[in-house]
Homo-oligomer: A and B are copies of this chain.
Amino acid sequence: MSVTIKKIAKDLQLAVSTVSKALSDSHEISAETKARVFEYAARLDYIPNPYASSLKKGKSKNIAVILPEVADSFFSAAINGIEAVAQEKGYHTMVYLTHEDIKREQSIVRECRNGRVDGVLISVVAGDSLHEHLRDLYTNEVPLVFFDRVCEPIETARVVTDDHHSGYIATKHLIEQGCRKIAFLTMPGDLAITHHRQQGYEQALRENGIEIRVLYGTDREEENLAMIREVLQSADRPDGIIGSIEKLALQVYTTCHAIAVNIPRDVKVIAFSHLQIAALLNPPLTTITQPAYEMGKTAATLLFRALEKKQDVKHEHIIIPSVLVARASTEVL
C-alpha cells in the first residue's frame, strides 16, 4: 500500500488532522511540527491521494478538452497551448475526441458533469445543432469555454478568430490577384466558424459583383477528391478556390497534382490553415493562419479565471485575429 497521512501520523505520534494541516502549511501548526512532518513525508515519498481530497473538497483539479480530432494541425497546437497553462496552474488535462460525432460529444460532456473535471474547454462538432448537453453542463455549474468552434445559442465564454473578416480578406486577396470565378469549399452543417468565413466570402463577392459558388465536401476523402476533380475539369472551372478547412484545401492540392492542373496558373488556392509547413508545399500555400496556440492558451486562461477567481467570464468574447500569409499559390504569373 502507498503511504497515507494516517501512516505519517502514526509514525510521528501525531493526529491525522495535525499532519493534514501541517502538509497544507496551516498557520495553526508550529514551525517545528511542520518541519518534522514535511521531512518525514518527503522521506517516505508521500503523494496525496487525489481522490480523497477531491471527494472531500468537491474539486478535481482536472479540466476537459473536447475536440473534434487531433490530426489537424490546428488542434494539435491548441492542445499545446492549453496543456501549458494547465500544467502551470497545477491542473490535469483530460483530452476527449469526438470525431465529429454528436453522440460521442453528448456522452463525453455528460461525464464531465459529476466532478470528474472542474471545467470544460470545447470545440464543438460540425454538422449538428443539438446543444442541450452543453446547456446541462452549464446548469451543473461546470464552467465552459468555447474555442474556435462555438455553439452560438449557448451564452458562455468564447475564444475565436475573426472568421468573417478572414473570409472577406481571403476573398479580396483572390480578387486582387485577378480571380473572377471564386469557389468556396466548405463542409455542410451549421458550424458557425465556416458560416462566418462564408459570409465574409459572400460579402466580398457581392461588393465586386462576382457570382457566389459554394462547394460542399464530405467526411469521405475519395468522394471529395472525385468532386474536386470534377469541378476542376468542368467547363467553367473556378480560377480561385478558398478552402475553409485545411483538409479540403490539401485535397485540392492532391487533385491538382493528380490531374496536372497548375496552381496558381490555372487556379489559385488559399486555405484556412495552421500548417507550419505551408511554405514547403508545392507550390507554397497562401494561408489564413489561425493563432492556434494563442487561442488554446487564452481559452485555458479564461477557464482558470472562472475556476480560481470565481470570476464570471460568461460574457467574454475574445477575438484573436488570423493573418493572411501570401505565398505562391495565389501569385499572379
Contact surface of A with B, Cβ cutoff 8 Å: 2, 45, 47-52, 54-55, 60, 62, 65, 69-73, 76-77, 79-80, 83-84, 87, 92-97, 104, 110-111, 113-116, 136, 140, 250, 253-254, 257, 275-277, 279-284
- Cβ contacts under 8 Å, A276 to chain B: 71, 250
* Chain B contacts for A72, CB-based, 8 A: 76
Q: Which residues in B have their C-beta under 8 angstroms from that of A116? A: 50-51, 92
Indicate which residue in B47, B76, B92, B115 contacts A49 across the interface (CB closer than 8 Å).
B115
A254: chain B residues within 8 A (beta carbon): 279-280
> Is the CB–CB distance between B47 and A114 below 8 Å?
yes
Chain B residue nearest to A114 (CB atoms) is B47
Chain B residues, CB < 8 A from A279: 254, 257
Minimum Cβ distance to chain B for residue A236 (Å): 26
From known contacts A49-B55, A76-B76, infer whether A83 and B97 are also in contact, taking CB-CB under 8 Å. yes
User: Which residue in B73, B80, B87 is a CB contact (below 8 Å) of A69?
Assistant: B80
| Closest chain B residue to A99, Cβ basis | B84
State A48–B76 Cα separation when bound (angstroms).
31
Residues of chain B with a CB closer than 8 A to A282's CB: 280-284
Known pairs A50-B116, A282-B282; list 14 more (Cβ under 8 Å): A2-B113, A47-B110, A51-B60, A70-B76, A71-B80, A80-B97, A83-B95, A84-B97, A93-B94, A93-B95, A250-B277, A277-B277, A277-B281, A281-B282
Are A51 and B94 within 8 A (Cβ)?
Answer: no
Residues of chain B lying within 8 A (CB to CB) of residue A97: 79-80, 83-84, 87
Determine whether the beta carbon of A95 is less than 8 Å from that of B114.
no
A153 CB, min distance to chain B CBs, angstroms: 21
B residues within 8 A CB of A277?
A: 250, 253, 275, 277, 281
Are B94 and A92 neighbours in the complex by a CB distance under 8 Å?
A: yes
* Chain B residues in 8 Å Cβ range of A77: 71
Which 10 A-B residue pairs are closest in the complex by CB-CB distance?
A: A282-B282, A47-B114, A51-B55, A51-B54, A95-B95, A51-B51, A76-B76, A50-B116, A253-B280, A83-B97
Asked if B79 and A95 make an inter-chain contact with CB atoms under 8 angstroms apart, the answer reads yes
Q: Which of B70, B92, B140, B280 is in CB contact (< 8 Å) with A250?
A: B280
- A79: chain B residues within 8 A (beta carbon): 70, 95, 97
Q: What is the minimal beta-carbon distance from A221 to any residue of chain B, in angstroms? A: 11
> Is there contact, CB below 8 Å, between B76 and A71?
yes
A287 to B224, CA, bound (A): 25
Query: Shortest Cβ distance from A156 into chain B, in angstroms?
Result: 19
Decide yes or no: A94 and B96 within 8 Å by CB, A70-B70, A70-B80, A250-B280 being known contacts. Answer: no
| Residue in B closest to A84 when the chains form the complex, CB atoms | B97
Q: A70-B76, A96-B83 are in contact. Are A114 and B281 (CB under 8 A)?
A: no
Complex interface: chain B residues within 8 A of A48 (CB): 114
